[in-house]
Amino acid sequence: MINTPFFFNGNLEDEKPYLYVKDLVKIIVQALNLNNNGIVNVTRINQIKVKELINLIENISGKKIDIISNQKKEIKKLMFNNEMQNKLFRISYTTYNEGLKNQYENFNSLLM
């Protein structure tokens, strides 16, 4: 955002399940209330393409982002623990657009 290129290792067509930090806090609180000692991968179920996420950031900020990508193949696949997923992921997730807008506004307020 400071007029320097953004270097991205990967393919801009890859889909990722980005999770807004406030949603993570909700999930952690729910997990603490379950009294379960198991390991849980905390992630969002629906995913967004990296290039779509970049477009959202550009729309929110009103600035064009210069992306330099090495276009590596996507190799990491997500696995879910279905039982824990059903118990924990019953929250209303923040939309990608709303989460990015909140983060952008918070970041800008720190610069003022």
Token output for 91: 């929250």
Per-domain boundaries in the chain: 6-111
Q: Which pLDDT does position 79 carry in this prediction?
A: 46
Rounded distance, CA 29 to CA 88, Å? 9
Cut 0.75: pTM above it:
no
User: In which band, very low, low, confident or very high, does the pLDDT at 1 lie, cut at 50, 70 and 90?
Assistant: very low
Over the stretch 31-90, which tens digit does the pLDDT of each residue have? Answer: 788 777 777 777 777 889 989 998 998 999 888 888 887 766 554 554 445 555 566 556
Tokens of 6: 């953004």
Spatial neighbors of 88 by CB under 8 A, at least 6 apart, are 27, 30, 31, 34, 40, 42
Write the pLDDT tens digit of every residue in 8-23.
878 888 888 888 888 8
CATH superfamily of 6-111: NAD(P)-binding Rossmann-like Domain (3.40.50.720)
